[in-house]
Structure formats: structure tokens, C-alpha cells
Structure 1
Amino acid sequence: MVSITTDPIDMNAAYQYVSTDSAGAITFFFGTVRNSTNERPVERLEYEAYDRMALTKMQEIADEACQRWNVRKYVIVHRKGNLAIGDIAVLIAVSTPHRADAFDACRYIIDTLKQQVPIWKKEIFEDGQVWVDAHP
């Protein structure tokens, strides 16, 4: 399951979705809004996405992870809009029969998502704002 939402991300729903009797491992990655960047206080983040293209790319990444590792189920959810400090911006959940595949697939998904998916982050500071280069 892949999605983009403006609503808070529900980690319990993600767990229920990826949970399966055939999986002995479930890994989660939560990308959260931190309160500073390079010791500069962050007030909030704003995310924008090209939804249709982002969802297509997210599905391609998930499909690749399923081919490379023994993934039984997965969830990839990215939030957009205004996010406060502590909010979950992205959640990746992966279930596999064994932990090594779960860790590897989860890491691959988040690393590739950050490199390839058209989702942009703006950091809002007390004294200004900056778009973060998500695709260096």
C-alpha cells in the first residue's frame, strides 16, 4: 500500500496492514519533524508533492523491494502540508519472514524514496524559510 495524505499518519493502522502470520519480522521507519537544522531552530515543515507521479514512483520502489527481498506486505505513507515538530512525515513498514530482509527492504525504500520521489520539503524558521534539496 502506498499513499500520500494530509492527515496524521496512523502507525497502528500500518501495523495492522503489514501484520501477517507468514512474517516473523516487521520493521518500521518513521521520519519525524525535528526542532532544528544545523543548530537553527525549525518552527515547522511544509511538504508539497506531485501526487500522481509520486504515487507511481513509490509503487515502483515498493515493487523493486518486493523483487529483491522476501517482502510479504508493505506500507509507504508520506504526509504533505504543514507539519509541526514531532509529527510523522513519512512511515515505511515492511513485513518479511526474517529480520535481515525486513531491515534491508525498509532501508532501501526510504533511501530510494528520498532520492527519486517528487516530494519537496520547506523548512520554516523564525527568521526565514528554505526549500531542502531532497534529490542531491
Structure 2
Amino acid sequence: MNEKKMKDIFMDGPIPAGFIADSIQKHSTKTNIGAHSIFLGQVRADELLDRKVAAIDYTTYKEMALEKMHEIRESIFAKYELTCMHVHHSLGTINAGEVCLFVFTSSKHRKTAMDACEEVVELIKVELPVWGKEIFEDDSYTWKTNK
């Protein structure tokens, strides 16, 4: 495995639309890219046990999560011919309707970008030690299970 510095993927609060737009715009000068694939995870106002989810409070064991994300990143770059990959995950309380996960893959060809993006999202959901506490409108809560 190469010894690149681990990137900090976490940001406090929701991921702003302007941040996403800026990330896309920064790639306009990279002429070796033919395709981008983007996944945006958004907090849903699910109804559970007759209560409506108002927000999710995300927490993590950051050091462990960054090590795991580095492993995921290295495995994806070994499997797919990507130009770049960016992952950003929210921490803290994210309200229903706000973006909490941004995965952005780029490559010469669309299928590569799309397949890599989908695999990264699935690996994050299964392997990344990030926990979400679903907070209901009445301030009660339950721990979220990933689906």
C-alpha cells in the first residue's frame, strides 16, 4: 500500500450545495477526465414507531474511520482506473433534507466512474465506523441501522 497522507473526509454539519458545486467546478480544467459520478446522501424524514425523524446526529471514532477510509480508497484505486475520488461525510446533527454524504469519482469513462462511486458508497455504509442517532421531532432517539 502506498504511504499517502490520509485525507480527512469529515466535516462538521451538513455538506453545503456551494461546496459540492465548487468541487465539480475545480475539475473543469482537468482535460483527461471524461466522466464524473456523484452520490449525495440526504437525511430522510422517515416515520418510525409513529414518530418522524427530524435529524441524524453522526459520530465516529475518527482515527479508526480515517484508517478504514484510506483502505477503501486504496482498494478502489487498485480496482478502477480513476482520475480522482473525493469523499466527504458529515459529523454532528444533520437535519432532514440536508446532505450528509458526498462521494465524487472521476475517470476517462462513465462506467468506471459510476461503478467505482457505487462501490465506494456501499463500502462506506458497511465498513466505515460512523454511527447515526436518529432524532425524532419529540427529541427522543434511536440508533440508526444502515440499509
With over 3 angstroms needed to count, the CA separation of the structure-2 counterparts of 1:7 and 1:46, relative to structure 1, is closer
Secondary structure at 2:125 match in 1: helix
Cα distance in 1 between the residues matched to 2:51 and 2:8: 33
Aligned partners of 1:2 and 1:58 also within 8 Å: no
Q: Which residue of 2 aligns with 1:46?
A: 57
With over 3 angstroms needed to count, the CA separation of the structure-2 counterparts of 1:95 and 1:14, relative to structure 1, is same
Shift of 1:2: 4.8
Shift of 1:55: 1.2
Aligned partners of 1:18 and 1:75 also within 8 Å: no
Q: Which runs of 4+ in 1 moved over 3 A?
A: 16-19, 37-40
- Whether 1:129 aligns to 2:141 is yes
User: What is the correspondence of 1:79-90 to structure 2 with a 5 Å cutoff?
Assistant: 79-90=90-101
Cα distance in 2 between the residues matched to 1:31 and 1:75: 14
TM-score normalized with structure 2 length? 0.83
Shift of 1:17: 4.8
Structure of higher CA gyration radius:
2
Q: Which residue of 2 aligns with 1:14?
A: 23
With over 3 angstroms needed to count, the CA separation of the structure-2 counterparts of 1:103 and 1:26, relative to structure 1, is same
Number of positions where the alignment pairs a residue of Structure 1 with one of Structure 2:
135
Please list every run of 5 or more consecutive structure 2 residues that lacks an aligned counterpart in the other structure.
1-6
With over 3 angstroms needed to count, the CA separation of the structure-2 counterparts of 1:22 and 1:115, relative to structure 1, is same
Which residue type is aligned with residue 111 of structure 2?
A
Aligned partners of 2:69 and 2:128 also within 8 Å: yes
Which residue type is aligned with residue 12 of structure 1?
A
TM-score normalized with structure 1 length? 0.89
With over 3 angstroms needed to count, the CA separation of the structure-2 counterparts of 1:18 and 1:92, relative to structure 1, is farther
With over 3 angstroms needed to count, the CA separation of the structure-2 counterparts of 1:60 and 1:18, relative to structure 1, is farther
Cα distance in 1 between the residues matched to 2:94 and 2:9: 17
Shift of 1:100: 0.5
With over 3 angstroms needed to count, the CA separation of the structure-2 counterparts of 1:132 and 1:46, relative to structure 1, is same
Q: CA RMSD in A?
A: 1.9
Shift of 1:37: 4.1
With over 3 angstroms needed to count, the CA separation of the structure-2 counterparts of 1:37 and 1:72, relative to structure 1, is farther
Cα distance in 1 between the residues matched to 2:107 and 2:120: 14
